[in-house]
Amino acid sequence: MSWCVTASMCISRYLTGFLYFTSINFVLTFVAAILCVCFAPTAAGPGIPEIKAYLNGVDTPNMYGATTLIVKIIGSIGAVSAGLDLGKEGPLVHIGSCIASLLGQGGPDNYRIKWRWLRYFNNDRDRRDLITCGASSGVCAAFRAPVGGVLFALEEVATWWRSALLWRTFFSTAVVVVVLRAFIEICHSGKCGLFGEGGLIMFDVSNVTVSYHVMDVVLVVVIGIIGGVLGSLYNHLLHKILRLYNLINQKGRLHKLLLSLAVALFTSMCQYGLPFLVKCTPCDASLPGSVCPTNGRSGNFKQFNCPPGSYNDLATLLLTTNDDAVRNIFSTNTPQEYQPMSLLIFFVLYCILGLITFGIAVPSGLFLPIILMGSGYGRLLGIYIGPHTNIDQGLFAVLGAASLMAGSMRMTVSLCVIFLELTNNLLLLPITMIVLLIAKTVGDSFNPSIYEIILHLKGLPFMDANPEPWMRNLTVGELVDVKPSVVTLQGVEKVAKIVDVLKNTTHNGFPVMDDGVVPPVVGQANGATELHGLILRAHLIQALKKKWFFKERRKTENSEVIERFTWVELAEREGSIEGVIVTSEEMEMFVDLHPLTNTTPFTVLESMSVAKAMILFRQVGLRHLLVVPKYQASGVSPVIGILTRQDLLAHNILTVFPHLAKSKGREKRN
Amino acid sequence: MSWCVTASMCISRYLTGFLYFTSINFVLTFVAAILCVCFAPTAAGPGIPEIKAYLNGVDTPNMYGATTLIVKIIGSIGAVSAGLDLGKEGPLVHIGSCIASLLGQGGPDNYRIKWRWLRYFNNDRDRRDLITCGASSGVCAAFRAPVGGVLFALEEVATWWRSALLWRTFFSTAVVVVVLRAFIEICHSGKCGLFGEGGLIMFDVSNVTVSYHVMDVVLVVVIGIIGGVLGSLYNHLLHKILRLYNLINQKGRLHKLLLSLAVALFTSMCQYGLPFLVKCTPCDASLPGSVCPTNGRSGNFKQFNCPPGSYNDLATLLLTTNDDAVRNIFSTNTPQEYQPMSLLIFFVLYCILGLITFGIAVPSGLFLPIILMGSGYGRLLGIYIGPHTNIDQGLFAVLGAASLMAGSMRMTVSLCVIFLELTNNLLLLPITMIVLLIAKTVGDSFNPSIYEIILHLKGLPFMDANPEPWMRNLTVGELVDVKPSVVTLQGVEKVAKIVDVLKNTTHNGFPVMDDGVVPPVVGQANGATELHGLILRAHLIQALKKKWFFKERRKTENSEVIERFTWVELAEREGSIEGVIVTSEEMEMFVDLHPLTNTTPFTVLESMSVAKAMILFRQVGLRHLLVVPKYQASGVSPVIGILTRQDLLAHNILTVFPHLAKSKGREKRN
């Protein structure tokens, strides 16, 4: 766009540009939103909280299907290219997990390949491992940060961690980065558009020699504190806005769609309109003409509405891709490039956009909006403090971004490595570490991390790593006392009883007991009760579906079972009792539950504290925990209760034992 | 040393040099070895395996004392400056852990500060956390690699890992790196000798632009495979030599000392003598005279015995500190610097030294010897393959070092980050990742990692993360059946019984049971047996020492206990029954064990598989696991056995159930 001659010509040209810009963004957002609203509501948002919950043991339905995957890919492309204030990192993490899940189960639900070796992945642990690898590959692809990806999966996403998983995720990201490197090489000629810009290092700031003194550390501490405060403030406000959005979204699909489109319109208008408010800056005379102003390619110094030989600094930040905006604001050795006014407008605008964009019905990531906000205030700070220090303004922007990330997301090691891999400046490491730790500490004193807030908003029963202190004063015996009494089954049970139990309870596991057995050691104690194990609802349904009934009460051979039930069927977790038809004749028959029972359930004594039971539950990754009596006598049931995830959640316990909440404050450490 | 005029003058000057060199090294080694042999044998070696075992739950006596700390510091300085082929990383990790442990317990054993807040650290978990932080700080200090330090602690050292521990170790390394940075700044004037050489990045190779093609990946795979094979070969040979050294060392202190001194002599002789074997290389004419040859300072191109204007390339590698040797061999853009012959001599020499030095009685680290060996073969490979690729020879050395490290130590992520932080070349990341993963995979197919081999040699009962497949076919009931029957105590027990049990068993925990209690629910079952909990040997001894006896069988109030036993006494784990004197009158009295009993022990049913019991044992970090019956009847004991770490070790189980070993190969996955 060259400089126009008359004012009216200018205005009409700007209007044409505005219409093009806004309408293209509108259409792109519309495509992204309509796909998410109509086909895969789970594809909206980042998906990271749901993945975190899945790895903790909470499944969200339709999260890893083929539809979700396709919608997420197209939707993310649409939303990002519409210039909305959102990133592609969250969606890429989700995409990675979807692909991993689909590969592991042999394809989408309806067209699943049932090869024999696939059964190795057909258990919860391997499925979790695959999804963890997928998530780390996603981060790696988003930031071209292989080690950062591994650490992100470790620090933020995973609940259980094994040494083997560490190098498996590492392997996944190694493959990603090699493939990425190959693509960048192929695209070296520049035929792939913006792909490969920045090579493997997206926002290189390694050309600045970092030199700082002890006094600069004080400054770094200040940035960290501001980042922590702003980060927790952001979390707080986003929480409010997401609750408001939830109310709007509940009104129906149309409301969801309109909300997304309104945000898109507002974004486009601000991005196009606000640059007119700032003054043009003349180009630095020392720069060659090809560098400033920039037209028709990405880079600093956008000309936009300015006369030749000058540039519009706000347009440089707004009228570009988000990646380029970060690159421009991180740019080093350009102390005069931005006016404080432009940076202030930029910061305020992205604060507003960051808050209103996240909750709309398109695939959206949190990383980039926070980096943009943080770099805005960082660089602004740099302009005012810059003269008193020799830290470059671009590095101020980097530190600001890091501090806001840590203040909002509360990660440390993974963010540190991601920033290292993004900026390729190892000398920055010590001050980045300080900024991250301070921002995290400050933020933690106000509210939980953004992902925990979202998890709570979505109502996912996430199980925290550490039990609350008051949990030590409650025994599991007291906890099962207030629950309805446990439903147990006999080793060889009547069909009628099983159907009854399945229809009238929602439990997923039932203890199996045998009465009147003779224990091998103590001969005289005839009529002992034996706890045989735990049977899953899914397996009871399988037994009913297969009509695996006997006329008489009898035990079966193992071989009979292997004939009837394949590994695919036993790994199946879906299916409901409604779909099973049992005749009244069959109701009087028997099922031998012994072969289908898990004979090695984890148990705790009734005198065990809830805190320790919770540690066991989470560390070993359980779904059911049997409570056994501490008394040994005939007439006592060998199982007095069964605990599930819901029973051990702090929130649920407090609704039953409200007095414990009061003692919460008093004794933090016993 | 300038070029001498006549041959005899030369020889006498060389001899003088040799005598100085050897005798100084001899004295330094002598100091290091005599300290280790006489005052703190635990200070010898790296200390990392013992720390790893400690964090797994196996304590080595005298590992974290003040004496060990001082000996380790002085000894490590002596051994490293004696030019021995060993590093300072292992010792620094141990030093960090010692400092952490001493700070946590309030000082050395005899002069311990007993402030009230120190009791917060007086539990196993916090002590473990502190030692983990110390270990990561050690790696950070050794390599100036803060993130690498955190990851090393995570991947190699720690057994249990919590999110809180992640940012605590990160905080420790952040402090280390800031302090280090401040020292480097202070030493900028060059008054601190070699300290601060290389700044925060020790072996900077960032000046090379890495460009590689798909074909180069094949090459990288080859380096990885060679590294894996050599690494496992090194592990194998080191195992043999350590066993031989164990035999020598058992003969007494003098043998230990002589062995160390012999190795020191041999090292000095080789380092001084071998450079005479190679030809002098003329300096590259394009280099300024101040760069080549180097005299009187560290750097490439040592002149040694060569005429002016030329240098001895083997002397460049041998007659310098180990750090400088690595820097010299990693040096980039110097393709003609080293002759293949010199590199071959260097590689073979360091293979021999690396094998014979590690086991001697001085503080020694494994990292640097392996880096030296690996970089030797890497650069050698580079000379021959170099013409067919555009990877720099210095990078070949880096990749060779990485591959041998991974081949021997089997770490991936932490090594990757350590190499990144050592060399500051982010573009090298993809190929480093491939090399590490391949070397680890190849190595794993031959033998376990070097640390596991040392752990096994030292006889430390380390508990692995994964149970063996055959453990699923054994129940804990079968396991306790072959053990001597469990020793139980009554809730209110006779002193004589306690003394008897403590004297005649070596158990550390005893189940406490109450007979004839009336369970609250089932009224009719009179005479039930209640499992009250588990009491520790240390607490029984405390009760005896305090003479907390009663004439009659009675229960006590909680307040009585709090008066008598302080937290310091209850946290105490030492003390033996031999030191306790009980009169025959007191023998007839009673002790109420209820208040001292842990009422919430972890339990498993007798039908539980050993594999799952082991997972519980390790995940929750137990010392004792009670086995309860699956039968409920009067006359059955509520505890049928107790399992400890020793019972669950694969090796110990196989000695009792040898037939399980045979089924080992047949079914890898059930």
State which H helix or E strand residue B605 sits in: strand B603-605
Which CA distances in Å does A137 have to A122, A162, A304, B425, B541?
21, 18, 38, 21, 55
Work out the average pLDDT over A586-607: 88
Residue with the larger pLDDT of the pair B137 and A117: B137
Cα–Cα dist A375/A346, whole Å = 10
Per-residue pLDDT reduced to its tens digit, B237-249 = 999 999 999 999 8
Residue with the larger pLDDT of the pair B264 and A635: B264
Q: Per-residue b/e over B503-531, b at no fewer than 16 CB within 10 Å?
A: eeeebebbbbbbeebebeebeebeebbbb
**Mutate which of B137, B530, B597, B630 to test chain A, going by most A C-beta atoms within 10 A?**
B630
Cα–Cα dist A75/A68, whole Å = 10
Instruction: Please name the member of A147, A213, A465 whose beta carbon is closest to the beta carbon of B417.
Output: A147
Beta carbons of A119 and A566 less than 8 angstroms apart: no
Phi/psi of residue A637, nearest 5 degrees: -70, 140
Chains A–B, number of C-beta pairs less than 8 Å apart: 249
| B620 CA: distance to closest CA in chain A (Å) | 6
| B161 CA: distance to closest CA in chain A (Å) | 8
Question: What's the distance, Cα to Cα, between the start and end of chain B in Å?
Answer: 70
Q: What is the DSSP string of B610-632?
A: HHHHHHHHHHHT-SEEEEE-SEE
Work out the average pLDDT over A614-642: 86
DSSP reduced 3-state for B426? helix
**Mutate which of B118, B184, B391, B426 to test chain A, going by most A C-beta atoms within 10 A?**
B426
Give pLDDT, residue B519: 57
Q: Which of B192-206, B454-468, B645-659 has the lowest mean pLDDT?
A: B192-206
| A201 CA: distance to closest CA in chain B (Å) | 8
Say whether A177 and B521 touch across the interface (CB within 8 A): no
DSSP label at residue A4 = P
Percent above pLDDT 90 for chain A: 38
Cα–Cα dist A409/A450, whole Å = 6
> pTM to 2 decimals?
0.89
**Total residues found in chain A within this entry:** 670
3-class SS string, B462-487: CCCCCCCHHHHHCEHHHHHHCCCCCC
Give pLDDT, residue A667: 42
Work out the average pLDDT over B398-411: 94
pLDDT band for A519, please (50, 70, 90 cuts): low
* Strand A631-632, strand B528-536: pairing: antiparallel
Q: Could you give the domains of chain B?
A: 7-189 (1.10.3080.10), 469-666 (3.10.580.10)
Give pLDDT, residue B670: 34
Q: Which of A154-168, A467-481, A524-538, B320-334 has the lowest mean pLDDT?
A: A524-538
| A555 CA: distance to closest CA in chain B (Å) | 19
Tokens 């005069």 locate to: A336
| Chain A contact set for B178 (CB, 8 A) | 217, 430, 433-434
| Chain B contact set for A146 (CB, 8 A) | 429-430, 433
Beta carbons of A309 and A293 less than 8 angstroms apart: yes
**Mutate which of A171, A630, A640 to test chain B, going by most B C-beta atoms within 10 A?**
A630
| B376 CA: distance to closest CA in chain A (Å) | 26
Per-residue pLDDT reduced to its tens digit, B41-67 = 999 989 999 999 999 888 888 888 899
Give pLDDT, residue A666: 44
Q: Which of A188-192, A301-305, A583-587, B16-20 has the lowest mean pLDDT?
A: A188-192
Is the bond leading into B61 cis (omega within 30 degrees of zero)? no
| B562 CA: distance to closest CA in chain A (Å) | 13
Instruction: Please name the member of A146, A601, A628 whose beta carbon is closest to the beta carbon of B433.
Output: A146
All residues at 6 or more sequence positions from B460 whose CB lies less than 8 Å from its CB, including other chains: B49, B50, B53, B58, B60
Cα–Cα dist B319/A371, whole Å = 49
And the tokens for A270? 């601000």
Helices A340-357/A253-273 angle, 10° precision:
170
**Mutate which of A120, A132, A426, A615 to test chain B, going by most B C-beta atoms within 10 A?**
A426
Cα atoms found within 13 Å of the Cα of residue B571, Cβ hemisphere only? 15
Closest residue by Cα to residue A619 from B655, B159, B642, B446: B159
Give pLDDT, residue B96: 95
Say whether A430 and B181 touch across the interface (CB within 8 A): yes
Cα–Cα dist A467/A648, whole Å = 9
Average pLDDT, chain A: 86
Give pLDDT, residue A447: 92
| Chain A contact set for B616 (CB, 8 A) | 602, 616, 620
Give pLDDT, residue B643: 92
| Chain A contact set for B202 (CB, 8 A) | none
- Give yes or no for residue A313 having a pLDDT over 70: yes
Question: E strands, B439-549, where?
Answer: 489-490, 492-494, 509-517, 528-536
Instruction: Please name the member of B154, B174, B426 whose beta carbon is closest to the beta carbon of A421.
Output: B426
Which CA distances in Å does A246 have to A38, A259, B299?
17, 11, 65
Instruction: Please name the member of A604, A607, A634 whose beta carbon is closest to the beta carbon of B599.
Output: A607
Say whether B630 and A532 touch across the interface (CB within 8 A): yes
* Strand B509-517, strand B528-536: pairing: antiparallel
Give pLDDT, residue A376: 93
Closest residue by Cα to residue B376 from B454, B316, B442: B316
And the tokens for A595? 């072969």
Say whether B633 and A632 touch across the interface (CB within 8 A): yes
Say whether B146 and A426 touch across the interface (CB within 8 A): no
| Chain B contact set for A529 (CB, 8 A) | 631-633
Q: Is the ipTM of this complex over 0.95?
A: no
Per-residue pLDDT reduced to its tens digit, A56-81 = 888 888 888 899 999 999 999 999 99
Work out the average pLDDT over B195-218: 75
Q: Which of A124-133, A135-144, A190-199 has the lowest mean pLDDT?
A: A190-199
All residues at 6 or more sequence positions from A151 whose CB lies less than 8 Å from its CB, including other chains: A413, A414, A417, A418, B151, B413
Cα–Cα dist B487/B484, whole Å = 9
DSSP label at residue B607 = T
Question: E strands, A542-600, where?
Answer: 590-592
**Alpha helices (runs of H) in B39-123, residue ranges in sequence order:** 48-56, 66-81, 89-105
**Total residues found in chain B within this entry:** 670
> Which residues are paired to A528 by β-bridges?
A517
Percent above pLDDT 90 for chain B: 38
Give pLDDT, residue B296: 66
Residue with the larger pLDDT of the pair B538 and A2: B538
| A657 CA: distance to closest CA in chain B (Å) | 21
Cα–Cα dist B557/A548, whole Å = 58
Give pLDDT, residue A523: 47
Cα–Cα dist B325/B315, whole Å = 10
- Give yes or no for residue A383 having a pLDDT over 70: yes
Instruction: Please name the member of A163, A437, A465 whose beta carbon is closest to the beta carbon of B163.
Output: A465
Beta carbons of A666 and A644 less than 8 angstroms apart: no
| Chain A contact set for B161 (CB, 8 A) | 161
| Chain A contact set for B599 (CB, 8 A) | 607
**Mutate which of B55, B162, B634 to test chain A, going by most A C-beta atoms within 10 A?**
B634
| Chain A contact set for B529 (CB, 8 A) | 631-633
| Chain B contact set for A426 (CB, 8 A) | 200-201, 420-421, 424
- Give yes or no for residue B585 having a pLDDT over 80: yes
C-alpha B170: how far from its chain's center?
19
pLDDT band for A521, please (50, 70, 90 cuts): low
Say whether B600 and A612 touch across the interface (CB within 8 A): yes
| B417 CA: distance to closest CA in chain A (Å) | 8
Q: Which of A101-110, A397-406, A462-471, B2-11 has the lowest mean pLDDT?
A: B2-11
Say whether A530 and B466 touch across the interface (CB within 8 A): no
**Mutate which of A631, A637, A669, A670 to test chain B, going by most B C-beta atoms within 10 A?**
A631
Work out the average pLDDT over B331-345: 86
Give pLDDT, residue B662: 66
> Which residues are paired to A642 by β-bridges?
A626
Q: Per-residue b/e over B325-346, b at no fewer than 16 CB within 10 Å?
A: bbbbbbbbebeebbeeebbebb
**Alpha helices (runs of H) in A251-357, residue ranges in sequence order:** 253-273, 313-318, 322-330, 340-357
And the tokens for B57? 């739950």
